Amino acid sequence: MTRIISTTFVIVALAVFKPFGLGVWKWEAYVHLTALWGIGFVTCMITEMIVKYIVRKPRSYDKGVSYIIRRNLYFQIINTPFVALNICLYRHNVLNQFVEGNQLSLVNFLETLAILAFCSFAIGLYWRFKFRSRYLAAELEETRLLNEQLKKLQESRIPVKKETETTKSEETKTAQQELPETLTLEGSTNEKVTLDTSHLLYIEAVGNYVKVCQLRDNEVHTDMLRATMKQVEDDLQAYPMIVRCHRAFLVNLGQVEQISSNSRAMQLIMHHSQDAIPVSRSNIAQVKEAINGLD
């Protein structure tokens, strides 16, 4: 339906301004406009397949507003010159027989491209504002559900990841339940940081160091350790509540007070410190999966 409306918009614009010599005809002009509509619609469907299978950006409303905007940009960049070329071929093979000056040439291609680019820009603005509120509403609802799920997790204080495969052995479950709450993080030097995993807020990469932010005696304390995020992540990979949310942050979901989300970014607001920890686009799915997978 989106492509039908968009193609119709372009044809209406052509009917109003009558370029390519369409103004010399009366009812015959509408026959050509109908043919151009068919050309435009078929070209849009071909472009849709190119974007989906070659560019590998399928239409997915679940990926949020920014993804759809980027996908539509790819679509317009490919589709606009493609449609312009097909219309120029129609001008050359059909219209040029009746109105001179429609032969296939660089000038005619650029003229057609300019007209379609303007129409494409207007259509893009229309769909962007039309669907933006819908996507934002969906994101707000998803954020609300994630906050509810997060609250349940924190109340239950699940120490290990819930088993989803019924074939898991009892030995594996027992081993997961015996994870120590206290462990020692070692860096590339002699420094060490003793960590209470249940009181950990987050770990941040700062240059060649990592900053460990945790609670001690109900106060927020930070320790610096010369280590890489990869080292620390490997040490904590057995703790499902501690996840990578950004290339520079590991966060304890058990200490997240609230999830804040909008069309531009997602942030995790921490208990006690009220720090806003960013969630990168590449890690949003991982954070959501961690929250939903621990029910």
How many whole angstroms separate alpha carbon 68 and alpha carbon 63? 7
pTM: 0.55
- 116-169 pLDDT, tens per residue? 999 888 887 777 777 766 767 777 777 888 888 888 776 765 444 444 444 444
List the structure tokens of 114: 């300019």
CA-nearest of 37, 265, 28, 238 to 139 is 265
**In whole angstroms, how far apart are CA 264 and each of 79, 95, 150?**
26, 47, 21
- 204-240 pLDDT, tens per residue? 999 889 999 999 888 898 989 999 889 899 988 888 8
In a domain, 160, yes or no: no
Residue 20's contacts (CB-CB under 8 Å, 6 or more residues apart) are 14, 91, 95, 99, 102, 112
Number of neighbours of residue 74 by Cβ within 10 angstroms? 14
SS3 at position 196: strand
Residue 117's contacts (CB-CB under 8 Å, 6 or more residues apart) are 80
List the structure tokens of 228: 């890489």
- DSSP H/E element including 62: none
Residue with tokens 């960013």: 278
Cα three-residue angle 279-281-283, rounded to 5 degrees: 65
List the structure tokens of 92: 């050359």
Sign of torsion over alpha carbons 149, 150, 152, 156 = positive
The mean pLDDT value for 2-29 works out to 85
Last residue of a domain, one of 145, 176, 207: 145
**Do residue 266 and residue 182 come from a single domain?**
yes
In a domain, 161, yes or no: no
**Do residue 131 and residue 198 come from a single domain?**
no
Domain span holding position 183: 167-292
In a domain, 162, yes or no: no
List the structure tokens of 14: 């052509």
**Do residue 118 and residue 188 come from a single domain?**
no
187 band by pLDDT with thresholds 50, 70 and 90? confident
In a domain, 215, yes or no: yes
CATH assignment at residue 276: 2.40.50.1020
In a domain, 153, yes or no: no
Is the model's pLDDT at 21 over the cut of 60? yes
DSSP 50: I
In a domain, 73, yes or no: yes
- 56-73 pLDDT, tens per residue? 888 876 666 667 778 888
- Torsions phi, psi for 278 (to 5 deg): -75, 150
SS3 at position 82: helix
36 band by pLDDT with thresholds 50, 70 and 90? very high
Q: How many domains are there within the chain?
A: 2
List the structure tokens of 216: 């001690």
In a domain, 85, yes or no: yes
**Do residue 186 and residue 270 come from a single domain?**
yes
In a domain, 63, yes or no: yes
How many whole angstroms separate alpha carbon 16 and alpha carbon 176? 70
